[in-house]
Each structure stands twice: as C-alpha cells, then as structure tokens.
Amino acid sequence: MFLVKFAGQKRTAVTLLLAIAFTVPLAVYRGTSNQVLLKISLTQLFLLLGFIVWSGRVIIKRKDLILRRSPLDGPLLLFFSLSLLSLFNSRYRWAGGPEIYRLITYLLLYGVSVNILWDRRNLSRLVFIWLLSTGLVSLIGLYEHFFKGMSPPRSTFGNANFFAAYLVLLFPLTLTLFISSIFSGSRLSFNKEGRPEGLRRNWLRISFLATLLLVMTLSLFLASSRGAWLGLSIGLVFLGWLFSCLGTGRRRLATRVIPIFLLLLLILTAFFLPRLLEKKFVREELEKGTLGIRVLIWEGTAKMIAAHPLQGSGIGSFQAAYPRYRLPEYFANPHAVDSTAHAHNEFLEIAAETGILGLLAFLWVLSVFFIKGIDIVKREEDRYKQIVVMGLISGAAGLLVTNLVGVNLRFPSSAIFLWLTMGITMSQIPLTDPYGPRRVAGWIIKTSLVFRGAIFGLVLLLVGLVGWQVVAKPFLADMYFQKGINYRKAGDWEKAISEYQKAVELVPSFIRVYYRQGFAYAVIGDIDKAISAYKKVIDLAPDFARVQANIAFLYKEKGERDKAIRAYQRALELNPRDQKSIYYLKEIYGNTGPDSFSGVEINQDTTVKPGKPF
C-alpha cells in the first residue's frame, strides 16, 4: 500500500533529477565572474519548481507526501546543525549565509535522490543521462584543446582542476559499466532459432561506454591535474578491492579487472617516480612550487583551527578570517596571492570553519556512506545496481582524495555531484524498516479547501522570496560584477563603477566588488569615494593586506600622515614582504622612523620607486 502511493509522486521528481543530471554538467555562463555559478542556480531552480509541484499535489489535490528515511539522516542533521551554529557564532555571517544556502541545496538534492532512485528503471535512466552529459562535456574539453589551443582544457567547469575532479568522480562508474557489459555478453539468452537476444543493444552499450572512457581518459590527461590523477589512482584501487569482495562466482571477474588497475598504476608510477625522486625537484616544489605553497597554507590553517578548535570561525569565513593566521613565509613563494580563498584541503577547511566537531560530523557522514555502500555491494542481488554502487562509491573515494590537495568541493562544479552520488547510493538500501516510507503531510489533507488554498499561497510566496534572495540576486550581482570587469578592461572606468554599484545594491556583502570599486575610484582621482569603498571592505574583512596598503596610499596622497602610517603598519603585519608598503612607509618616515617594523627593515636601500597601486 505504501509503495503504490510512494511510486505515484515520482514522476515530477524523476524529471527533475534527469534535468539536473543532464543540464548542470553542461551549464556554464561566461557573463558572470564565477562561470560555474549557473550550475548551482539551475539546481536551486529545479528544486524550487519541484517543491511547488509537490506542494500542489499535497495541498490542492490532497495527495499524501510519502518520504523514506536513510542511514545518513542523523549524521547529516548533526553536520548541518554544527554548520548553522558556527554561523551564529561567527563575526563573518555575511560570508556564511550563502554557504548555508548551498548546503541546504545539497541536502535537498540528496533527499530527492534517496526517495526516487530506488527502482532500477529510474536509476538506469539517470545513469545514462548523466554519462551522456559527461561525454558531451569531455568532448567540449577536447574541442577547446585541439581547436582553440586552450591548454589545459576547462570545458564547462571554468577551471581545469574542477573539470578533472568531475571526471574522477564518474570514471570508475563508466569503467564498471563497461566491464560489466563486456562480460555480460557471455550470459545472453538465445531465441528458438539459436540467435542471441539483446546482442545489438549490448554492443551499442559497449561502444558508447568505450567511447566515453576514451574521451574521459584523454581529457583527464590533458587537464594535467596531479591531484585528480592521484584521486583517480586511489579510486581505481578501491574499485579493485570492491571487486575482490564479490562472491566466489564473480572473483574470476576481479582477477581479470585488477591487473588492469595495477597496469594503470604502474604506468603512472613510471611516469612520475623519476621526477619525484629527484631531490632538486622536491626542493624546488617545496620552495617555489604549488606544493610548497599548499604546505604553507596548511600550516596557517592549523593555526586557525587551534584558535577556534570547537566551533571554528564560521562556515564560509575562511577567506576573510585566514589572513591573520597566514605565515609570513607564504609571500616568498612566487605563487602567493594577496587573498587566500581556500585551504586546498577540504577537511582542514571544514575544521577551520566549523571546528573539530564539524569535521567529526562530516567524517561520520562519509563513514556511514562508505560502510553502507560497501554493504550494498556485498548484499545486492541486482547486478546492475551492484555495479552502479561500486562505481559511485569508488568515484566518491577518488574525489575526496583529490580534495586532500584541492578546493573543488568548495564549488558547485563538484559538490553538487558528490551529494547526488551519495543520494543515489543510499537510495539502493531496501525499502524496509527502519528505512521504509513514512507519511509526512496527512494533517494538511484533512483541512478545508480555503485553509489549503491559503497555505498554497504562502508556499508560492515563500518560493518566490527564496528564489529572488537565494538564486536571482547572487546571479544578477555576479553578472553586473563581470560587466564592470569588462568595462574596466576597456578603460571605461565610469561604466565599470556603475556596474559595480548595481552589484552591491543587490548583494551588499559582495566584498570583491567593493575592492574593485575602490580601485576604480582611485584611478579616476576620486580619493574620498575610493577610501569609502575600501573602508567597506575593511568593515567586512579587516585583515586583507592589499586593502590596507591601498587605503594607506590614498591617505598618504591626501596628506593624512598618521592614518597612512597606521594602515601601512597593519599591511606589513599581514604581509611583511610587501615592497611597496615598505617603500612608502620609509618615504613617510624619512630619516626619523624606526629601523624596522614587524621584522622587516624599512630603512633598506630601496632605490627603485615602485609603481603606484592604481
């Protein structure tokens, strides 16, 4: 009885998930500064539309809403609660709000997936659509490389590392389906005439998956992402181990598959090991390479965690809070930038923002996910479901390893699909207690039509407000921001300022816009407005060294000596190697200033005057 009603509400949700699986990987809009922002915006729009339809079924048509539980409900509730608590205790709530909205989006996507994809038909449809979309984004990447000269290719992900990480997630799934299709040929049934049934369909499947594997492999190689290669290697090893866990009848398959993984690992090892063993290479990587700067960022992040061990500095706050914990040696690396946006390690960043408690909750989520996923692989009798889960949890393992040295889970280009993967996997748990379906909206059905109409009106109003606040405003603001950047590149500073102003009117905490706005005002000579814009940055995030240095220069130009000195001193506390600040602070002091400040000699022989910051 439950299952009949439960199946009745699926049609809209299945369409919604198919739309997400196909359109979101392909979605990119170069008219926004964050080119992958469209991915999260589309996901949120689809979920809001689904919410309207489901609300209409329950409220207007009086159809009960049936939902199931999952093993991740408790861990996810704890992780969300701790993330929300970190926001309330943060001085950077302006940065945490959008992150909470995104987390809610991911949780809703997980919930929809868990409740819809438990039957094989819908699961196979979604997997095919998702892999078809993946093939298209891989072809886009190859087109960029071979016909547009883009190296490494980014496809629709705005960044080669993000593109590679997405492929790491889906490569094991594609591989398992390919291997399964090959070996299933020997088990085809035959008709009365002795001809195999389904042979043509099976060969079409094999051809599609083989082509997909080829373009994905080539795209992964061209992306040149070492973190992705590492993650893929671990994901394939994990997949090989899962094959070895199958029943005795399927271990023969493992003996054929595992050597393929070992061969891939040997090839990768032979390619990288000689360079890794060179002491000069290791030393240069640590001193001047991206590995070295990651190590410095991790050390600073560890200091940040130690300062707020339990609740963290607040979800979404890393970029604003990190500068006060950043090591001075960071700026000696040629890859250093003024603003460190992320920790380049997902687990460290979670601990820094939500505390050790938040990290433990997230690890609990992952532990339950992998334990239950492995249990499904061992117990599932449906071979297709078993193969899909094997590929998904192996891809998730690879993606998480990639995020030991990367940031792609901080962006919707990867995060959306990890949560979708978790939902698909948990949906394969049998629909029995304690994970069976439950009625959740029976009380509404029993109310009067007038009351239900009023409730539905409130739902529509709420969806409209959420859509405007969470989806439309951030997207439009980012679009205006990019227009301002384009005008700036064209030298039209007045129009750039106008577009920047439109952006901050929509999102008053858009800190990057205030920085660009201050720069633009300084270029056209409106120092007071430039200072005002930089002060807004400082109000939101007082520890950005470059902002302190820029506002100090403006104070110096206005003749406000004391304010300039204080701002330059703060800039040098945050970045002791800033040669411009050293020079101009020496210029302000003349021969009467101190010999050093924050460990930096400001009376050094700075014979070459640095260029103005504007």
* Any domain includes 112: yes
Please indicate, yes or no, whether residues 270 and 326 belong to a single structural domain of this protein.
yes
* Any domain includes 453: no
Please indicate, yes or no, whether residues 341 and 385 belong to a single structural domain of this protein.
yes
Please indicate, yes or no, whether residues 240 and 125 belong to a single structural domain of this protein.
yes
Residue 87 neighbours by CB under 8 Å, 6+ apart: 93, 96, 97, 100, 314, 315, 316
Please indicate, yes or no, whether residues 409 and 491 belong to a single structural domain of this protein.
no
% pLDDT > 90, the chain: 60
Residue-level pLDDT at 275: 56
Q: Which CATH number does the domain housing residue 583 bear?
A: 1.25.40.10
Amino acid at 502: K
Exposure class string for 417-448: b at 16+ Cβ within 10 A, else e: bbbbbbbbbbbbbeeeeebebeeebeebeeee
DSSP per residue, 405-430: S--GGGSHHHHHHHHHHHHHHHHTS-
Please indicate, yes or no, whether residues 381 and 517 belong to a single structural domain of this protein.
no
Q: Find residue 438's DSSP bridge partners.
A: 67
* Any domain includes 607: no
DSSP per residue, 293-352: HHHHHHHHHHHHHHHSTTT-S-TT-HHHHGGGG--GGGGGSTT--SS----S-HHHHHHH
* Any domain includes 262: yes
Domain stops at, among 439, 455, 486 = 439
Please indicate, yes or no, whether residues 511 and 398 belong to a single structural domain of this protein.
no
Q: What are phi and psi of 561, to 5 degrees?
A: -60, -50
How close are the terminal C-alpha atoms of the chain, in Å?
A: 71
- The secondary structure element, H or E, covering residue 597 is strand 596-597
pLDDT tens digits, 172-204: 999 999 988 887 654 544 444 545 455 566 788
Please indicate, yes or no, whether residues 412 and 501 belong to a single structural domain of this protein.
no
Residue 390, pLDDT above cutoff 50: yes
Any idea which residue has 């196979």 for tokens?
A: 124
Please indicate, yes or no, whether residues 509 and 580 belong to a single structural domain of this protein.
yes
pLDDT tens digits, 292-311: 888 999 999 999 999 999 98
CA distance 455 to 445: 12
Please indicate, yes or no, whether residues 402 and 494 belong to a single structural domain of this protein.
no
Q: What's the distance, CA 165 to chain centroid?
A: 10
**Residue 186 gets which letter from DSSP?**
G
Measure the CA angle with vertex 393, ends 180 and 182; round to 5°.
10
Number of domains making up the chain: 2
* Any domain includes 465: no
pLDDT tens digits, 264-274: 666 666 665 56
Domain stops at, among 439, 463, 497 = 439
Any idea which residue has 């260029």 for tokens?
A: 611
598 band by pLDDT with thresholds 50, 70 and 90:
very low
Residue-level pLDDT at 264: 65
Averaged pLDDT for residues 233-261: 70
Helices and strands: H and E segment counts in the chain: 25, 4
Residue 451, pLDDT above cutoff 90: no
* Any domain includes 583: yes
Q: Which residue has the higher pLDDT, 91 or 187?
A: 91
283 band by pLDDT with thresholds 50, 70 and 90:
low
Please indicate, yes or no, whether residues 332 and 215 belong to a single structural domain of this protein.
yes
Nearest to 418 by CA among 67, 39, 110, 60: 110
* Any domain includes 173: yes
Q: By residue range, what is the domain housing residue 344?
A: 2-188+197-439
* Any domain includes 114: yes
154-168, 254-268, 375-389, 392-406: the lowest-pLDDT one = 254-268
Are 94 and 513 contacting, i.e. CB atoms less than 8 angstroms apart? Answer: no
Domain stops at, among 391, 424, 439 = 439
Phi-psi region of 333 (alpha: psi -120 to 50; beta: other; left: phi over 0): beta
Averaged pLDDT for residues 240-261: 64
Please indicate, yes or no, whether residues 435 and 572 belong to a single structural domain of this protein.
no
275 burial via Cβ count (<10 Å: 0-12, 13-18, 19+): exposed
Measure the CA angle with vertex 215, ends 214 and 221; round to 5°.
95
Please indicate, yes or no, whether residues 419 and 536 belong to a single structural domain of this protein.
no
DSSP per residue, 124-143: HHHHHHHHHHHHHHHHHHHH
Nearest to 73 by CA among 461, 304, 382, 361: 361
